[in-house]
C-alpha cells in the first residue's frame, strides 16, 4: 500500500508503507473512500513542530470496513463508517462525560492519508451509516471526521445559542465550519474575521452575517463597535496562536464564552487580562465522536454541506501538491482520493 | 474622621482622613457598622503590588445610610445596607448579563477601613436589609460584601451541582467560604486542600468532607487517587498564583470546571497543558452584587454563618495589628470595629 509520509520540513512523500493489519481484537481495518489534509498537518510540514522520524500522516477518514477484530461487536465488514481522529472506547467515565477525545484509552490516529487504515477501539470510535452513501456525499461525510466536528465543538464550547452574537476568529476550514455550526445552533449574528475574498464568500454561504477584515487591536475595536461597545456573546478561536487567542478573549463581552480548538503553539495566557475579561474559556481536542451521529444525520438528510471547504480535490498520489497549496494558502482544504477511488 | 492608609510595604497607619461627602447625585454616605481586611489587601501590604501614593484601604463594608444624593431612589437614610466592593449601576447590559463587577460604570471602592464611606451608584450597589440587624449578625452580613460573595462565585463559576466532587485550592477566607458555598449548592464531596489545623477545622465545619495536605504534583496525585483517577468535577482556585492555578487545572477531570477568583499575580498559563486538560475555565472579580440578596437572606434566616472566618476581631484603631496577624497567617481574617462601634 502507498501513503503519505512526512520526512521533515516541506518534505512529504507518497511512498510504499506496510499494509495495516488487525493488531488488537478491538481493531477494524477500513479501506478509505476519502481522506484529506488537516490544518494541524501544516505545523509539522512547516517545521514548527518537527517530526523526530518519518511519520505517516493523516487522521481524517471515512470508508468501508474490510475486517474487524474478534472483540468488535457493533461494526461489521462492508459497512461505511466515519470515525474521529481520536480513538475512544466510548464507555469510560470520560467518554460518558462527553469528552471521548480525552478517553482513558485514547489514541490519536495517524496514517489516514493512505489506501487503508487500522482504527483502534472500532466499536467506540466508528459510526456506521445506514446505507452505503452516494459518492457525491463523500466530501461532506469526510468533513464530519474532524474539521466539521472541530468547528462544531468550537460553537458548542462557546455556548452558541439562538439569538447570540457570535465572532469567529480564523478563516481556515475549522473557522468556516464554526460559522456553519453557529448558524445551525441558531446564532442571530455571525461575524467572521477574514481578509481573503474566497473565504469571506464561503463564510457568507455558511451563514456569516458580517465580515471583519481588521485584526489585533483594530479587529477588537471593530467588534466592540459592532456590538454596542460590549463584545460578542460567543467567540470561536480557530487558529491557535497567542495573537488570535487574545483577540478572541478581548472580543467577548464580560461573561461571554470563548472557545479554542486548535492546538495552541507558543501560547502563554497572562492571568490578569484573562481575569478582568470575565470570559468563560473552554477548548481542547474536539470530542468529535460525541457529535458524529448528529453530524452524519445532518449530512445524509442534505441539511448541511460541510464538504464545500474542500476547494482542492486531488488523487492521493498528488498529496505533496495538496500540502503545498494549503501551505501557500491557495487552497482552504485539500481532499485526497485514495488510489482505488481515483478512477471512479 | 480616621481611617487606615497604606504608605508602603508593611506601613499601614490609622490616621486622620477627609470626611467623605456626597460627590455625585447617585452617591450614598454610610456610617460603617463593621469592616475588615481582605486577602487582596495583603498584596500591596507585602509590597508585591506597590502603592504609588498613600492609599486609603478597605473595600468590605456594611452599615447605616446617613445621606443620599438627589438621584438616589431605592436607598434611604437610616437603612442598614451591604454593598459590593465594586460599585455598579445594576441596569447596564453587563449587569443584566450577571456581571456587575464589570459594569460599564464600575468603580472599585477603597477607603472602607474607616468610620464612614462614600458609595457611588448607591441604587445599583447597595442592598438594604428589611430591618436593622442585631449586632451578632454583623460579621455574617459583612462577609457577604466580598469574601462570601467571592467564595460563592468560585463555586458558581465552577458549576458546583448536587452530587459533584469539588476540590477547593486555598484555605484562606475565600477558599473556606468556597467550601461553605459548595455545601449550600449540594456538592456530594468537598475536598479542601489545607495544611493548617485551624483552617482544616473550619473547612470541616463549613462542609468539607475530606482534607488533602499535599500540594503541587503530590496534591494533584492525591486528588486523582481520591477520584478514581479522573479528577474532580469542580475545582475552586482561591489563591491566585501560577502554582495554585496549575494545581487546580490538573485536579479537574476532562470536561470539568475550574474557577479562579483571586487577582492572578505573575500568572502565565501555558496553552498546551490547558488545551489538553479539557477544562472549562471561568473567573474574574466576583459579581458579588448578583448574589447579595440571596446571601443576605441566607444570613438573616440563620442558614449560614460565614462570619466565622473572622477569627480576629479588633477595634479599627488597631488595624495595623490586624494586617500583621493576617500577613503572618496568625489570623484567617481580621474584622475591624469602627470607632463609634467599638464601645457598643
Per DSSP, B114 falls in state B
pLDDT (tens digit per residue) in B213-244: 999 999 999 999 999 999 999 999 999 999 99
pLDDT (tens digit per residue) in A267-324: 999 999 999 999 999 999 999 999 999 999 999 999 999 999 999 999 999 999 999 9
In the structure, what pLDDT confidence band is assigned to residue B266 with cuts at 50, 70 and 90? confident
Check CB contact under 8 Å for A255 and B98: yes
pLDDT score, position B138: 98
pLDDT (tens digit per residue) in A124-134: 999 999 999 99
Q: What is the mean pLDDT of residues A70-76?
A: 98
pLDDT score, position A263: 87
Q: What is the mean pLDDT of residues A183-204?
A: 97
Spell out which residues of chain A touch residue B272, defining contact as CB-CB under 8 Å: 263-264, 267
- Pick from B99, B85, B144, B160: which is nearest to B294 by CA? B144
Strand pairing class (A165-169; A232-237) = parallel
- Contact yes or no for A129/A107 (Cβ under 8 A): no
pLDDT score, position B142: 98
Q: How close does chain B come to A94, measured CA to CA in Å?
A: 7
pLDDT score, position A340: 64
Check CB contact under 8 Å for B97 and A269: no
Residues 6+ apart with CB under 8 A from B67: B22, B28, B29, B77
B2-146+287-342: CATH homologous superfamily? Medium-chain alcohol dehydrogenases, catalytic domain (3.90.180.10)
- Pick from B276, B259, B75: which is nearest to B169 by CA? B259
User: Of the given ranges (A212-216, B6-10, B184-188, B340-344), which has the lowest mean pLDDT?
Assistant: B340-344
pLDDT (tens digit per residue) in A132-162: 999 999 999 999 999 999 999 999 999 999 9
Spell out which residues of chain B touch residue A101, defining contact as CB-CB under 8 Å: 278
User: Residue B276's closest chain A neighbor by CA?
Assistant: A284
pLDDT (tens digit per residue) in B97-129: 999 999 999 999 999 999 999 999 999 999 999
Cβ–Cβ contact A159 with B under 8 A: no
Spell out which residues of chain B touch residue A279, defining contact as CB-CB under 8 Å: 282
Q: How close does chain B come to A266, measured CA to CA in Å?
A: 7
Check CB contact under 8 Å for A271 and B284: no
- What is the Cβ-side half-sphere exposure of residue A79, based on CA atoms within 13 angstroms? 19
First to last CA, chain B: 18
Cβ–Cβ contact B289 with A under 8 A: no
pLDDT score of B344 more than 80:
no
In the structure, what pLDDT confidence band is assigned to residue B340 with cuts at 50, 70 and 90? low
- Residues B154 and B176: their CA atoms lie apart, in Å, by 11
pLDDT score of A341 more than 90:
no
- What whole-number percentage of chain B has pLDDT above 70? 99
Spell out which residues of chain B touch residue A240, defining contact as CB-CB under 8 Å: 271
Q: Among A104, A224, A254, which would you mutate to test the B interface (most chain B Cβ atoms within 10 Å of its Cβ)? A: A254
pLDDT score of A343 more than 70:
no
pLDDT score, position A198: 95
Residue ranges per structural domain of chain A: 2-146+287-342, 149-283
- Residues B278 and B164: their CA atoms lie apart, in Å, by 18
pLDDT score of B328 more than 80:
yes
Q: What is the mean pLDDT of residues A169-177?
A: 97
DSSP-assigned states of every residue in A55-78: EE----EEEEEEEE-TT--S--TT
Cβ–Cβ contact B163 with A under 8 A: no
For residue A59, count other CB atoms closer than 10 A to its CB: 22
Q: What is the mean pLDDT of residues A164-193?
A: 98
Spell out which residues of chain A touch residue B230, defining contact as CB-CB under 8 Å: 93-94
Q: Coil, strand or helix: which one is B240? A: coil
In the structure, what pLDDT confidence band is assigned to residue A265 with cuts at 50, 70 and 90? confident
pLDDT score, position A96: 97
Question: What would the grid cell of residue B137 be?
Answer: 449578625
Q: Coil, strand or helix: which one is B142? A: helix
Among the four given CATH numbers 3.40.50.720, 2.102.10.10, 3.30.70.120, 3.60.40.10, the one describing domain B149-283: 3.40.50.720
Spell out which residues of chain A touch residue B255, defining contact as CB-CB under 8 Å: 94, 97-99, 102
Q: What is the mean pLDDT of residues A15-21?
A: 96
User: Residue A280's closest chain B neighbor by CA?
Assistant: B282
- What whole-number percentage of chain B has pLDDT above 90? 96
- Contact yes or no for A249/A270 (Cβ under 8 A): no
In terms of C-beta density within 10 A (0-12 exposed, 13-18 middle, 19 or more buried), how is residue B25 classed? exposed
Mean pLDDT of chain A: 96
Cβ–Cβ contact A231 with B under 8 A: no
Amino acid at each position: 500500500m502507498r501513503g503519505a509520509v512526512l520526512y521533515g520540513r516541506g518534505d512529504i512523500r507518497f511512498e510504499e508503507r506496510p499494509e495495516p493489519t488487525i493488531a488488537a481484537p478491538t481493531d477494524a481495518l477500513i479501506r478509505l473512500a476519502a481522506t484529506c489534509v488537516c490544518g494541524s498537518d501544516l505545523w509539522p510540514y512547516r517545521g514548527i513542530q518537527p517530526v523526530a522520524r518519518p511519520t505517516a500522516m493523516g487522521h481524517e477518514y471515512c470508508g468501508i470496513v474490510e475486517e474487524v477484530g474478534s472483540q468488535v461487536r457493533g461494526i461489521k465488514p462492508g459497512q461505511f463508517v466515519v470515525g474521529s481522529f481520536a480513538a475512544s472506547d466510548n464507555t469510560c467515565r470520560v467518554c460518558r462525560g462527553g469528552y471521548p477525545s480525552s478517553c482513558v484509552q485514547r489514541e490519536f490516529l495517524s496514517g489516514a492519508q493512505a489506501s487503508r487504515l487500522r482504527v483502534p477501539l472500532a466499536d467506540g470510535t466508528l459510526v456506521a451509516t445506514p446505507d452505503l452513501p452516494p459518492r457525491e456525499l463523500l466530501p461532506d461525510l469526510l468533513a464530519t471526521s474532524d474539521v466539521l466536528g472541530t468547528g462544531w465543538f468550537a460553537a458548542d464550547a462557546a455556548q452558541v445559542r439562538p439569538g447570540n452574537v457570535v465572532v469567529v476568529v480564523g478563516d481556515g476550514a475549522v473557522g468556516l465550519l464554526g460559522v456553519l455550526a453557529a448558524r445551525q445552533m441558531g446564532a442571530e449574528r455571525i461575524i467572521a474575521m477574514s481578509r481573503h475574498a474566497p473565504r469571506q464568500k464561503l463564510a457568507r454561504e455558511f451563514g456569516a452575517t458580517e465580515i471583519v477584515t481588521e485584526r489585533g487591536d483594530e479587529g477588537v475595536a471593530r467588534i466592540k463597535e459592532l456590538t454596542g461597545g460590549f463584545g460578542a456573546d460567543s467567540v470561536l478561536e480557530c487558529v491557535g496562536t497567542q495573537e488570535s487567542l487574545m483577540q478572541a478573549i478581548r472580543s467577548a463581552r464580560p461573561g461571554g464564552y470563548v472557545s479554542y480548538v486548535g492546538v495552541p503553539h507558543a501560547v502563554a495566557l497572562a492571568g490578569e487580562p484573562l481575569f478582568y475579561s470575565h470570559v468563560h474559556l473552554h477548548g481542547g481536542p474536539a470530542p468529535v465522536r460525541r457529535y458524529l451521529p448528529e453530524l452524519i444525520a445532518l449530512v445524509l438528510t442534505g441539511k448541511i454541506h460541510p464538504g464545500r471547504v474542500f476547494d482542492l480535490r486531488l488523487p492521493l498520489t498528488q498529496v505533496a501538491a495538496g500540502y503545498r497549496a494549503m501551505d501557500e494558502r491557495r487552497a482552504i482544504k485539500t481532499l485526497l482520493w485514495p488510489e482505488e477511488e481515483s478512477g471512479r
